[in-house]
Structure 1
Amino acid sequence: MKKITRFFWFCSGAHVDTLRKYPIEHNKYVGIGATIFFTAVFAALSGGYAMYFVFSGSAFAVGFAILFGVLWGTAIFNMDRYIVSSINKEGSTNQQILQATPRILLAIMIGLVISRPLELKIFDKEIREKLKTAYLKGQHTKIDSLQRTYNQKYAQELGKEKDLKKEKDSLERDINRSRYELNQEVFGDKTNQTSGIMGYGTYAKRKEEVLKEKQDRLKSVTDNLGQNEDYLSRRKDFEGVTSTRLFTDKQLDSLANVAGFADRNWALGQLSYNVDGSRDLDTYMAMSFIGYLFILFECLPVFVKLMSPKGPYDTAIAKIAEANIHAAERDKERDINVTDKTYDHNLDVDIGRRKQIISNQSEFDLSRHSYD
C-alpha cells in the first residue's frame, strides 16, 4: 500500500518529501493521483483503439495500437499532472478560478478527444447498421442518377424505340385479325369483311396480299427495333447503367467493415436522429452522457484541487518556492558582485599595464634624445 500511495502521489504531481510530513493531506492527493492515472488509462485505451481501427487489417495493427496507446496515455498523463500541479492555492478564489480556466478548457478538449473513439466502439453495432442503410440509399441514388442521365442523353433513341414497339404491337394485332378474316374468306363465312364465297378467290387473294404487306412491314419494324435495342443496350453498358446494381447483404457487411473514420464518425452523429429528421432523444442522451462522463472525469482533478481548502502542504510548498526564489536572487546578486569585482580587477591591471607601457616609452625617448 505504501508503494501504491507513493505512486499516486507521484501521479498527482505533489512533492513527495514535503507531502509525507503532512498526513492530513495524504488521502486527498492519493485521490487526485488515482483520478489522473485512470484518466491516462482510458486515454491509452481510446488512442489504442483509434490506431487499431486506422490500421485494421494490417499485420502490425496490434503493435501500432499498443505503441500509440502507450504514447497517447503517457502524453495525457503528463498533461493532466502538469495541469493539477500548476494550480496555485496562494491566491484568492477568483484568482484560482481565473488561473484554472485555461486548464479546464484544455481538460474539456482532452475529454472530448478521449471519449470519441470509445463512443465509436460502444455504438459499433448501431454504426454498422446506419452505414449499411446509408450505403444502400447512396447506391439507390447513384442508380437513379445514372438512369436519369441515360434517359436525357438518349431521349431520341428511346422515343424511337417506344414508337417502334407501339407500331409492332399494332401490326401484330392487325396481322392476327387479317389472318382470321382470310380464313373466313377461304371457308366462305359471311361477315361484314368477307364475301361469303367459299374458295381461294379474288377476295381471298386481295386479303392475302394485304396480310403479306403487313407481315413485311412487321419484319422491317422488328429489325429496326432490334438494332435500336442493341444500340441502347451497348450504351447502357458504356454509361454503367447495366453494371450498377444494388448492394447485397454480404457487400454491405464488407463495406461497413472497411468504413473509414470519417464515415463512422458521421454515422455516430446520425444515430441521434430519426428517419424523418427529428431528434432521437434516447440515443442523443446516451451519447451525450458518455461524452459528459469523460469530460467530467478529465476535469475532476482540477475541480478537486480548486474545491479543496488550502492545507498545510500548500503552505509548505509556497514557502519552499519563496525560499528558492530568494536563494536564486541571492545567487544572482553574488554572481553580479563577483563579476563586478573581476571587472574592476581586470580594469586596474589593464591601467597598470598601460602606465608601464607609457613609462617605458618615455624612458626610450629620453635615452634617444641623450644619444642624439
Structure 2
Amino acid sequence: MIKKFFILCSGADRDILATCSNGEQNKFAGIGATVFFTALLAWISASYALYTVFDNLFTSIFFGSIWGLLIFNLDRFIVGTLRKRKSKINEVLQALPRFLLAIIIAIVISKPLELKIYQKEIDAVLQEERNSKLMANKDQVTAYFQKDRDALTTEIDLLKKEVKTKEEEVNQLYNTYITEAEGTSGTGKLGKGPVYEEKREKHDAALAELQTLKTTNAEKILQKENEITALNNALEKQLLESSPIVSNFDGLMARINALNKLPWIPVLFITLLFLTIETAPVLIKLLASKGEYDFKLADNEEARATWMSQKSYQRKKQLETDQSLNDKIYEDLKQDEELYQKKRKTAMEIANLQAEAFYKQQKSVL
C-alpha cells in the first residue's frame, strides 16, 4: 500500500510500471518518497512561517497545507516529466529548467525552517534591535518635546531673574537710606532728614513693586511649571503608546533580517541540506541509466506517435481522394442537359420576380 502511494507520488505511469521488475518499481517508489517528504517539509515550513504572521494555529495549518500540496504537485510534475534521451546533453538541457525550479523551491522551503532552527539566536538579535529601537524612539520623542520644555524653562529663569534683580534694587535702596540716617553716606548728616525721607520713600515704593512682581511672577512661574508637567505627561504617554509597537518588532521580515545577521556558514549548511533533498529526485533520474520503465515508456510513446502519424496520413489521403471525386462529379454535371434546363428555369423565375418587385417599388415612389 505504501509502495503504491509512493509510486503515485513519483508521477510515473503506473500501468507501465506494473509490468516492470520489482527493482524498477522500488526505484520509483524511492523517488516518490523523496517527493512526498519534501512536500511534508514544505508544509511544516510554510505553517511555521505563516504562524509568525497570523499568530493563529488553524489558519497557519490551513494555508500551510495548501502550500505543501502546491510543492507536492510541482515536484511530482518536475520528476514525472523528465524523460531519458539518447544523448546525455539533451537530458541535461531538458532537466536544467526543472533543476533551477527545484533550487528555488528548496530555498523557499528552507528559509522558515532555518528561522525555527536558529530561533534562540534570532531572538537574541531581535532583542538587541528592539532595545536599540526603544532607545532611539525615546530620544526621538524626547527631542520632540524638549524644545518646548527648554523654552518654558528659559521663561521661568527670566521671571526668577527679574524678581532677583528687583530684590537687589530694593536692597540697594535700603542700604542707601539706612546709611543716610547713619550719616555714613549721602549728605553725611546723622539723623532722619528730608533726604532720608526721600530715599525711604523710594525704597518703600520699590519694595511694594517687588511684592507685586513676586506675586505676578509666582503665578506665571506656576503656570509655566504646569505646562512643563503637561509636556512631561504627554512625553510619557507617547513613550507608552510607541513602546508596544517597537516591542512587537517580531514579524517574518524582521526574523529573516535577523537571520541574515547570523554567521552565514551554519545557515548555508541548512540551505544546502534542503537543496540536496529537493534536487535529489531530479539528479537521480538524470544520473540513473536507462531502465526497463524508460524503454517501455519510450516504446509506448513511440507507438502512440506512430499511430497518430498513421491516422493523420489516412485523413490526408481520404481528403485528397474525396476532393478528386468531387471534382470529377462536378465536371460531369457541367455536361448534363437536364440539370442545365432546370437551373435555367429557376434562374428565369427569380429574374421575373425581381423585375416585378422593382416595378412595384418604382410605381409606389411615383
TM-score after normalising by structure 2: 0.70
- Could you tell me how far 1:110 is from its partner in structure 2? 0.7
Q: How do residues 1-372 of structure 1 correspond to structure 2 at under 5 angstroms?
A: 3-20=1-18, 21-57=20-56, 62=58, 64-152=59-147, 156-164=151-159, 216-234=212-230, 236=231, 240-245=234-239, 251=244, 255=248, 259=250, 263-273=251-261, 280-281=262-263, 284-356=264-336, 358-361=337-340
Contact 2:141–2:235, Cα closer than 8 Å, also in 1: yes
Partner AA of 1:255 in structure 2: N
Contact 1:87–1:100, Cα closer than 8 Å, also in 2: yes
Partner AA of 2:107 in structure 1: L
Query: 2:363 matched to which residue of 1?
Result: none
Cα gap change, 1:15/1:339 in structure 2, threshold over 3 Å: closer, same or farther? same
Contact 1:139–1:247, Cα closer than 8 Å, also in 2: no
Contact 1:40–1:73, Cα closer than 8 Å, also in 2: yes
- Could you tell me how far 1:304 is from its partner in structure 2? 1.2
Provide the rounded CA distance (Å) in 2 between the counterparts of 1:139 and 1:332.
76
Provide the rounded CA distance (Å) in 1 between the counterparts of 2:212 and 2:46.
77
Contact 1:143–1:244, Cα closer than 8 Å, also in 2: no
- Could you tell me how far 1:32 is from its partner in structure 2? 1.1
Which segment drifts farther, 290-299 or 135-144? 135-144
Partner AA of 1:93 in structure 2: K
Provide the rounded CA distance (Å) in 2 between the counterparts of 1:82 and 1:110.
13
List alignment gaps of at least 5 residues for structure 1: 186-201, 274-279, 366-372
Q: Greater CA radius of gyration, 1 or 2?
A: 2
Query: 1:188 matched to which residue of 2?
Result: none
Contact 1:131–1:264, Cα closer than 8 Å, also in 2: no
Contact 1:46–1:114, Cα closer than 8 Å, also in 2: yes
Contact 1:19–1:26, Cα closer than 8 Å, also in 2: yes
Partner AA of 2:63 in structure 1: F
Provide the rounded CA distance (Å) in 1 between the counterparts of 2:30 and 2:160.
84
- Could you tell me how far 1:139 is from its partner in structure 2? 3.5
Aligned CA RMSD, in angstroms, stands at 4.1
Partner AA of 1:161 in structure 2: I
Provide the rounded CA distance (Å) in 2 between the counterparts of 1:218 and 1:364.
129
Cα gap change, 1:286/1:247 in structure 2, threshold over 3 Å: closer, same or farther? farther
Q: Helix, strand or coil: the match of 2:235? A: coil
Provide the rounded CA distance (Å) in 1 between the counterparts of 2:125 and 2:4.
48
Partner AA of 1:340 in structure 2: E
Cα gap change, 1:359/1:299 in structure 2, threshold over 3 Å: closer, same or farther? same
Contact 2:115–2:259, Cα closer than 8 Å, also in 1: no
Provide the rounded CA distance (Å) in 1 between the counterparts of 2:120 and 2:242.
18
Provide the rounded CA distance (Å) in 2 between the counterparts of 1:15 and 1:118.
33
- Could you tell me how far 1:134 is from its partner in structure 2? 3.2
Greater helix share, structure number: 2
Contact 2:130–2:247, Cα closer than 8 Å, also in 1: no
Contact 1:132–1:253, Cα closer than 8 Å, also in 2: no
- Could you tell me how far 1:52 is from its partner in structure 2? 4.3
Q: For this pair of structures, how many residues does the alignment match?
A: 322
Q: Helix, strand or coil: the match of 2:12? A: coil
Percent identical: 30
Partner AA of 1:270 in structure 2: A
